[in-house]
């Protein structure tokens, strides 16, 4: 393993290290045209250039040395870092609910390698207990790592694996399930699990974090406490997403898996229920219900697992002047279902009509959702909508685009009979379509308006 002693170095940088016989983790004295430097040679990030060598100096800071300035370099010592997460046995407390944490690869809890900055995920109950000891007061936790993929790489294979694993846990008598997940596609997985795991008797809570747990202000620990509380003690037996309500460390929200969406690229309070209210607020003390109709926790184990998915389904985000070849190419590539995300009430331009007509004729299922996210598709209002419907585009009511995409894949995974698909699509499993929109389902308050500012000043953001 010659490469390992020059971790991350390549090209010219690597040559310099070799020339002076200095290894990564070696203590080095470097003479340069800018003066002398002393420190421990650190691994170099692979995406960085090959013109610098990284040193950790005595005060703990990192600096880079330009190799062009180096006149001499000696290794005066060597000390390789060796890290592991402290593992403490997770205490089992009689009387506390049994909660299973299923890992998908997102890091909810982790520990930091202070020298390289690498984040070491904490996952086993012992590791988690070391990082968030409060969990032991909430539940008796066990964990299982199903796979290790980044959020953006989650897909049908992972959805079905998860669904089957959940079924097994329920059968084995678990009191609640928590799924650790990266946040980017958390709502896709939440929708998939809602369709694939029907009639669950226990809470199934998806959780992530917007600020990694290596920082003191991370939302990870509190999210994990909220999620285990909801899973172990909550009485809502549905697939839910549990993330921060406000950006403040105050309470979390439980969102129904089909109506939730990530709405900000970086805020802690990024997840929002769209077109409805969240199910409940959650603190470490417990749940406070917002919606009164929900599926309550049950003692039985009558869960139905439907782990199906057709991969040849796609989404197409309409833009002005979209050309028909966008749809043609999907059809020609064998897609069986398309979700169009249309403008306004669910529209696309006229030039697409022939392409849509061709697609429908070829047996492709096409459903319409809206770019506005809030509100229903209403294709009767204008001629455009009526024309599209006549061609066979099905309005998907107020289904969110991502939920519609997941559902269409799931429906086509079960049958290729388009009438049956339509029946599945239009029969809500758990509020992916709601019959009505409550007055407080659409609240994007406008900053700057006096009464909004007054509210913001009074309550924590």
Partner 1 sequence: MSNKINPALNYEKTMRSAGYVPRKQATQKTYDAIGFMSGLEVHQQLLTKQKLFCRCPAGIFQKPEEYHAELIRHMRPTLSELGEYDGTALMEFKTRKNIVYHINSRTACTYEVDDTPPFPLNREALDIAIRIALLSKLNIVGEVHITRKQYLDGSIPTGFQRTAIIGVEGEIPLKNKKVRLIQLSLEEDSCREVSDIGHQRVYRTDRLGMPLIETVTYPDMKNPDEVMEACNYIRFLNRSTGLVRTGIGAGREDVNVSCRGGTRVEIKGVSRTKLIPELTHNECFRQWALLKIRDRLKDQVKQQKEWKIKPEPLKSIAGKLESQRFKELSNNGHKVMAVNLPGFGGVFSHFTQPGKCFANEIADRLKVIACLERPNMTCSEDLDPMLADNDWDQVRSLLNASPDDAQIIFWGPEDDIKTALETIEERCIMAFSGVPNETRKSLADGTTIFERVLPGADRMYPDTDSKPIPLEDSHIKKLGQDLPSDVIERYHQLKTWGVPEDSYHYLFTHNLYPVIEKIIAGLDQDPKKIGKLFGHFLKYIAGHYKRSPDFSYERIYDLYKYVVANKLDAEIVKIMLPVVYQYPKMDFDSVLVNLDFKRFSKDEIVSNIPFLKDKYKSIKTSKLPEAEKHWAMGQLRKMAVGNIPLKELMGII
Catalytic center residues: 107, 183-184, 262
Show the tokens assigned to 435: 């019959």
The residue with tokens 């016989």 is: 21
Residue 457 interacting with partner 1 (CB under 8 A): yes
Nearer to partner 1, 218 or 229 (CB): 218
Residue 304 interacting with partner 1 (CB under 8 A): no
CB of 35 to partner 1, least distance (A): 3
Nearer to partner 1, 133 or 286 (CB): 133
Distance of CA 129 to the CA centre of its chain: 23
Residue 3 interacting with partner 1 (CB under 8 A): no
Among 46, 61, 77, 443, binds partner 1 (CB under 8 A): 61
Distance of CA 136 to the CA centre of its chain: 25
Residue 13 interacting with partner 1 (CB under 8 A): no
Distance between start and end Cα atoms, the chain: 52
Residue 114 interacting with partner 1 (CB under 8 A): yes
Show the tokens assigned to 192: 């998939």
Residue 23: phi, psi to the nearest 5?
-100, 160
Show the tokens assigned to 109: 């809890």
Beta bridge partners of 256: 240
Among 15, 29, 48, 387, binds partner 1 (CB under 8 A): 48
Site for partner 1 in 281-300 (CB under 8 A): none
Contacts of 15 (CB under 8 A, 6+ apart): none
Number of residues that bind partner 1 (CB under 8 A): 60
Q: Would you give the binding string for partner 1 spanning residues 124-163, x where CB under 8 A is met? A: ------xx--------------------------------
CB of 401 to partner 1, least distance (A): 25
Q: Within a 10 A sphere around the Cβ of 120, how many other Cβ atoms?
A: 15
Residue 112 interacting with partner 1 (CB under 8 A): yes
Residue 21 interacting with partner 1 (CB under 8 A): no
Q: Within a 10 A sphere around the Cβ of 225, how many other Cβ atoms?
A: 22
Residue 460 interacting with partner 1 (CB under 8 A): yes
Q: Within a 10 A sphere around the Cβ of 51, how many other Cβ atoms?
A: 14
Among 85, 162, 242, 274, binds partner 1 (CB under 8 A): 85
Contact assessment for residue 365 and residue 391, using Cβ atoms and an 8 Å cutoff: no
Site for partner 1 in 176-235 (CB under 8 A): 211, 213-218, 221-222
CB of 111 to partner 1, least distance (A): 5
Residue 104: phi, psi to the nearest 5?
-115, -10
CB-based contacts of 118-121 (< 8 A; 24+ apart in sequence): 119/212, 119/214, 120/83, 120/84, 120/85
CB of 423 to partner 1, least distance (A): 43
Contacts of 144 (CB under 8 A, 6+ apart): 100, 101, 102, 103, 165
Among 32, 277, 295, 343, binds partner 1 (CB under 8 A): 32
Nearer to partner 1, 59 or 320 (CB): 59
Q: What are the residues binding partner 1 (CB under 8 A)? A: 32-37, 48-49, 51-52, 54, 57, 59-69, 83-86, 111-117, 119, 130-131, 211, 213-218, 221-222, 246-250, 264, 266-268, 453, 456-457, 460-461
């Amino acid at each position: 393993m010659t490469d390992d002693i020059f971790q991350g170095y390549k090209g010219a940088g690597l040559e310099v290290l070799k020339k002076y016989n200095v290894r990564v983790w070696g203590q080095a004295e470097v003479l340069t045209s800018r003066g002398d430097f002393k420190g421990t040679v650190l691994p170099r990030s692979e995406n960085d250039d090959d013109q610098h060598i990284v040193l950790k100096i005595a005060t703990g800071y990192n600096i880079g040395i330009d190799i062009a300035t180096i006149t001499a370099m000696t290794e005066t010592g060597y000390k390789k870092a060796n890290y592991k997460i402290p593992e403490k046995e997770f205490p089992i407390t009689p009387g506390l609910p049994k909660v299973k944490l299923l890992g998908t690869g997102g890091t909810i809890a982790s520990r930091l390698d202070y020298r390289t900055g690498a984040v070491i995920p904490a996952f086993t109950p012992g590791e988690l207990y070391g990082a968030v000891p409060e969990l032991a007061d909430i539940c008796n936790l066990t964990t299982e790592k199903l796979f290790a993929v980044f959020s953006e790489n989650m897909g049908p294979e992972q959805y079905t694996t998860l669904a089957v694993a959940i079924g097994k846990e329920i059968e084995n008598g678990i009191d609640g399930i928590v799924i650790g997940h990266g946040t980017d596609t958390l709502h896709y997985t939440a929708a998939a699990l809602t369709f694939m795991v029907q009639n669950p008797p226990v809470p199934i809570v998806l959780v992530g974090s917007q600020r990694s747990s290596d920082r003191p202000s991370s939302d990870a620990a509190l999210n994990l406490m909220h999620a285990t509380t909801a899973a172990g003690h909550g009485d809502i037996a549905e697939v839910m997403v549990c993330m921060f309500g406000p950006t403040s460390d105050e309470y979390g929200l439980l969102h129904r898996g089909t109506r939730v969406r990530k709405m900000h690229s970086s805020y802690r309070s990024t997840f929002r229920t769209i077109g409805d209210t969240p199910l409940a607020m959650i603190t470490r003390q417990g749940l406070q219900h917002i919606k009164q109709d929900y599926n309550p926790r049950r003692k039985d184990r009558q869960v139905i697992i439907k782990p199906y998915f057709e991969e040849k389904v796609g989404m197409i985000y309409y833009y002005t002047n979209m050309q028909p070849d966008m749809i043609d190419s999907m059809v020609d590539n064998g897609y069986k279902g398309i979700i169009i995300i249309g403008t306004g009430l669910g529209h696309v331009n006229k030039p697409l009509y022939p392409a849509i007509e061709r697609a429908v004729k070829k047996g492709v299922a096409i459903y319409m959702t809206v770019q506005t996210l809030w509100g229903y598709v209403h294709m009767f209002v204008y001629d455009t909508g009526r024309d599209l419907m006549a061609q066979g585009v099905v309005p998907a009511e107020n289904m969110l685009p991502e939920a519609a995409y997941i559902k269409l894949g799931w429906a086509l995974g079960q049958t290729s009979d388009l009438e049956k698909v339509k029946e599945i699509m239009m029969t809500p499993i758990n509020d992916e379509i709601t019959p009505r929109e409550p007055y407080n389902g659409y609240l994007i308050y406008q900053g700057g308006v006096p009464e909004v500012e007054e509210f913001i000043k009074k309550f924590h953001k």
